[in-house]
Structure 1
Amino acid sequence: MTTPPPERVVEQFPHLDALRAVGAVAVLTTHTAFWGGEYTDNGTAGRLLARLDVGVALFFVLSGFLLSRAWLQAAADSSPRPETGHYLWKRFLRIVPVYLVAVLAALWFIDANAALTTGDRAAALLLSSSLVDPSFPAGLTHMWSLMVEVHFYLLLPLLMLLATGRRGGLDVRRTCAVLVAMLVVSVWWHLDGALRVGEGRSIDAGQWLPAYLGWFAVGIGLALAQVLLVRGRAGRGTTLLVRLAAQPGVCWSAAGGLLLVASTPVAGPVLLAAPTTGQSLTKNLLYAAVGGLLVLPAVLRQRHADAPATTFDRLLTNRGARHLGLVSYGIFCLHLPLLHLVMWATGWELFAGRGLQIWVLTLVISVIAAEAAYRLVERPALRLKTLHPLRRRGAAPAEKSTAATGSTTR
């Protein structure tokens, strides 16, 4: 009889739930501001509203951090690696049920989708519209980022194999080489790859995974630093990150400054005109830095148990903020179909103002719908995670280290 591996100590990251809520509300806000015509009528504030799509970068950094840690921990401890089949099953249960609710609602109730072909509908249901069309159907245009997430989920086991190998021990140089390669691919995709792939085809390859590998690499890099720090292997780079993480106000102020830079023309237009390759890359790199700075103090700041809570702690660890993070995936998925509903029910015209009213109505309805989706769809689906029939006996459970926080992707 085989002895099962010991339970890995669960490390807590209580700030991350609220960060997921920040990302979801940021994405909702930028969409409602666009529909209200706020981008061009409010100067710098309007341009900053346009750049709140940085919430997607925050999601991707969180995904890179949370999902890679199980592999990095296993390599560092020479313990069993996460079992890929079980990991993918949990990702399926986490993403697909609520996504299908959003897709069916959008395809059924939004008039602009009435003329879609069977192929268009099938592509939307399979989360692949951006692979065959310039965008997703009406009410689902934000799902390009979820498609990128899913492709990252599929690629992650291979990335972790390349980063950690099959032998015991965590080779920091090897892992960093993989992260650098991810960043290089992302840079190349913005400057040349997307144009080559999309040439002569009615698609937007700039919304595919290669363009955002750098954002995920930032999250994986933070996970690497955290794993090394806990095991007393902090080098010069990790030590510098820990010192910066000790100052959350500095990190978040720097992120705000970079977002302000991103609101200028160096990061491209705020409306629907296509940016140049240089502008696209600049925006991507600025967003990667913003996402990393927002997450950094939440995962690498060292606090004594008896230290008083700071404003940063009080804001991100209160029950309301954490619960909003718990239902944030539903907010993300459902807010755009519900924004269509708000505009239809009120009779308000597109780009005709009322940005604040649109934002309030959409946010309130989205939170209510997300709460219902969490209780009726997400939570029941996640109860099936132990029923995966292909899980190997004795294999390490994927994402075990994040279970206590609830901080899985979105």
Structure 2
Amino acid sequence: MKGRDAALDGIRAVAALGVWLLHVGSNTGVMYRDGMLHWLMSRLGIAVPIFFLLSGLLLYRPWARAMIEDTPRPRPLGYLWRRVLRVMPVYWLVSALALWAWASYDWTGWLKWMLLAQNFFPADPTPDGLYQMWTLPIEMSFYVLLPVLGWALHRWARGGNRPVRLLAGIAVLPLISVVTVVVARLSGQPDLALLLPYHLAFFGCGMAMAVLSVWIGHSRVIDSLAPQLLVLAGLLYALLSTDLAGPRTLVLPTLGQSLWRLSLETAVAVLLVAPFALASRPGSLRNRVLGNPVASYLGRISYSFFLWHAPVITLQLKLTGAQPFQADFTSVAVISFIVTMLLSVGSYHLIEVSALKLSRHRSAPASPPAARAALPAAPAP
């Protein structure tokens, strides 16, 4: 797939709005009230598995294409350079402002955050306004690991049916997640959830989807079943919102609840993305809804929106003097959305677009035109 996919941008927009609504609900206490809607709100963290799956899908696809269609593989240094320019400039801006305003770190604390190493020091307190940033070290770990995974899968799949062997190799990644969840719960090490192995199931499903998208292209079966798949995703999300997947509070889930949550989040993310990644049809209702110009634009600025929304909510609560979990939901939602949107539009056009142009200019000599055209614009959560 060349260029951007408007519907996948729309999914990214929905996921970013889900994270924002989750944090509005948690900071105002609405999420912890009784009732179905409040339970459903508490599981909007499903946005993170969706982001991870999209990264696996879009970033691994050039490697899958190289293996299946014998096109040139991405050059690791050029690929990593693009990832750094995609993720770090706006992250540095937002994190630096929040650290300056609300943290009392010395230079070592600043260094950890500027290098996206904060997840490796879980004992350090998380500064106000940066509680959403735990996902980015996991994303960056996947970015760094992907060239190694691509090389290993390439070697593994050279003999026999290449797509089938690629899928078989990728199937190891969800198993690593399951083992990590078991170890985390049985050994009493919940901080393992801050590391990449815990989440490899989501990235792996995205990588498998990348293989299928190159191998079979448009799937008429998935196209015909798309409405049922999306409805099933909604039903499984409702199941995810029950006690089966663990408590809504910070109380640690049991091993069984953790495994159910991993399974249900994986299923919901796959069922939501598959109709668009494997059976994209611009004229369909689903593509018109998620691929319209407004949703697509919100998807393009979703990374900035993700970064800005938490410090904006934090600043709003501090300025109003709201007590924990007692702020007015409507006012927090409306004001934080407007301010975050304005900041996101500005940082997207002033910083993200400029960095994207720089990454294209810097990497242009390293890849032939055909390879560059095949590189999709991948998301960062």
TM-score normalised per structure 2: 0.92
- Cα contact 1:72–1:170 (8 A) shared by 2: no
The match for 2:100 is 108
Backbone CA RMSD of aligned residues: 2.5
How far is 1:205 from its partner? 1.6
User: CA separation in 2, counterparts of 1:186 and 1:161?
Assistant: 21
The match for 1:289 is 267
Unaligned runs of 5+ in 2: none
The match for 2:237 is 259
How far is 1:394 from its partner? 4.7
How far is 1:290 from its partner? 0.8
Report whether the alignment pairs 1:409 with 2:380: yes
User: CA separation in 2, counterparts of 1:175 and 1:194?
Assistant: 30
The match for 1:225 is 212
How far is 1:377 from its partner? 1.0
User: CA separation in 2, counterparts of 1:243 and 1:265?
Assistant: 34
The one-letter code of the counterpart of 1:367 is M
The one-letter code of the counterpart of 2:380 is T
User: CA separation in 2, counterparts of 1:20 and 1:106?
Assistant: 24
Alignment of 1:74-85 (within 5 A): 74-85=66-77
Deviation string 1:142-175 (CA, Å, 9 cap, x unpaired) is 1111111100001111111222228599712321
User: CA separation in 2, counterparts of 1:101 and 1:277?
Assistant: 38
Unaligned runs of 5+ in 1: 1-8
Equivalent pairs: percent with the same residue? Answer: 31
Alignment of 1:104-183 (within 5 A): 104-110=96-102, 113-114=103-104, 116-134=105-123, 136-165=126-155, 171-183=162-174
Report whether the alignment pairs 1:187 with 2:178: yes
Of the three residues 214, 218, 236, the one matched with 2:201 is 214
User: CA separation in 2, counterparts of 1:243 and 1:318?
Assistant: 24
Deviation string 1:300-347 (CA, Å, 9 cap, x unpaired) is 1264x8xxx333122112111111111000000111111111112233
- Cα contact 1:246–1:302 (8 A) shared by 2: no
More helix, by proportion? 2
How far is 1:260 from its partner? 1.1
Report whether the alignment pairs 1:354 with 2:328: yes
Point out the more displaced range, 177-186 or 64-73.
Answer: 177-186
Q: How many residues align?
A: 379
Kindly tell me: are residues 12 and 164 of structure 1, through their superposed partners in 2, closer, same or farther at Cα, counting changes over 3 Å? Answer: same
Kindly tell me: are residues 71 and 340 of structure 1, through their superposed partners in 2, closer, same or farther at Cα, counting changes over 3 Å? Answer: same
The one-letter code of the counterpart of 1:145 is T
Q: Secondary structure at the match of 2:216?
A: helix
Q: Secondary structure at the match of 2:30?
A: coil
- Cα contact 1:78–1:168 (8 A) shared by 2: no
How far is 1:190 from its partner? 0.1
User: CA separation in 2, counterparts of 1:27 and 1:78?
Assistant: 39
How far is 1:104 from its partner? 0.7
Q: Secondary structure at the match of 2:31?
A: coil
User: CA separation in 1, counterparts of 2:245 and 2:106?
Assistant: 35
Deviation string 1:336-374 (CA, Å, 9 cap, x unpaired) is 111111112233222115223212211111111110001
User: CA separation in 2, counterparts of 1:138 and 1:10?
Assistant: 40
User: CA separation in 2, counterparts of 1:170 and 1:150?
Assistant: 31
- Cα contact 1:179–1:221 (8 A) shared by 2: yes
User: CA separation in 2, counterparts of 1:63 and 1:84?
Assistant: 16
TM-score normalised per structure 1: 0.86
Q: Secondary structure at the match of 2:359?
A: helix
Kindly tell me: are residues 396 and 137 of structure 1, through their superposed partners in 2, closer, same or farther at Cα, counting changes over 3 Å? Answer: farther
Deviation string 1:367-386 (CA, Å, 9 cap, x unpaired) is 11110001111111112114
- Cα contact 1:76–1:169 (8 A) shared by 2: no
